[in-house]
A and B are shown apart, each in its own frame.
Chain A
Amino acid sequence: MPGQMLNLKSHDTRTGLQFFLEALGAVLLLAVTTIFAHRVQPGTPFYTAAQLAPIVPVWLLPLVMFRHYLRIDELQRLQFLQSIALTGGLMAGLAWSWPSVQRAFALQPPLGGMWEVNFSILFVVISALLPKLRATPRAR
């Protein structure tokens, strides 16, 4: 029911919203610190600090995920971990096969910043699909 889905008093909605806001905060901080790092010229007083600044939000993301993990129930934990594992596995496969594709077709696209985006998209898709699967110990 739409009324229940938007009920902010519901624990599920609050948990989801908290995760979304914390993750958004970390991503925004990452964007700000990355832009700042690129704009600071070498030799300026804050250069080293500016280059190291993006590390903080990068490590905030696993912390946000861990905090979310602690707030959710057992089925959600199972699905959350499966999503992370499947996404990580697929991304590892993509990352390792990409250089071969690049060499084979002489591609020069700057994919550096796209891996985080790819990971996020895959994670959302897998998270949406997983609840439709039957969670049994093994296939019969």
Chain B
Amino acid sequence: MNNKLKDLRAEHGMTQADLAARLAVSRQTVIAIESGRYDPSLPLAFAIAGVFSRRIEDIFVDKA
């Protein structure tokens, strides 16, 4: 799955550590999601969408 997390984070002037703290996850998890190595669970995806006030499908896009 592709995602726009890195762009959104930059737009909001947040560091990976800031975002990790907001989501209560590790910075490694934020890095893994941004790089596409890990697709988050639905609750975490909703939390990410909530931080950026977007819909999940605006942030996460299927590769197919």
* A74 adjacent to B17 (CB under 8 Å): no
Number of residues on chain B facing chain A (CB within 8 A): 15
A7 to B61, CA, bound (A): 34
Q: Mark A80-123, 1 if CB is under 8 A from B, else 0.
A: 00000000000000000000000000000000000000000000
Collect the chain A residues with CB atoms within 8 Å of residue B29's CB: 73-76
Residues of B within 8 A of A75 (CB): 25-26, 28-29, 32, 38, 40
Residue in chain B with minimal CB distance to A137: B39
When chains A and B are docked, how far (Å) is the Cα of A71 from the Cα of B21? 14
Number of A-B residue pairs with CB-CB distance less than 8 Å in the complex they form: 40
CB closest residue in chain A, given B36: A134
- The yes or no answer to B37 lying at the interface (CB within 8 A) is yes
Q: Is the CB of B17 within 8 A of A73?
A: no
Interface mask (A42-77 → B, CB under 8 Å = 1, otherwise 0) = 000000000000000000000000000000111110
A72 and B39 contact, CB distance less than 8 A: no
Set of chain A residues within 8 Å of B9, measured between Cβ atoms? none
- Contact between A74 and B37, CB atoms less than 8 A apart: no
With a cutoff of 8 Å between Cβ atoms, the chain B residues found around residue A135 in the complex are: 32, 37-39
Starting from the known contacts A12-B26, A73-B25, A131-B32, 18 additional A-B residue pairs (CB-CB under 8 Å) come to A4-B17, A10-B27, A12-B28, A73-B29, A74-B25, A74-B29, A75-B25, A75-B26, A75-B28, A75-B29, A75-B32, A75-B38, A76-B29, A131-B37, A135-B37, A135-B38, A136-B39, A137-B39
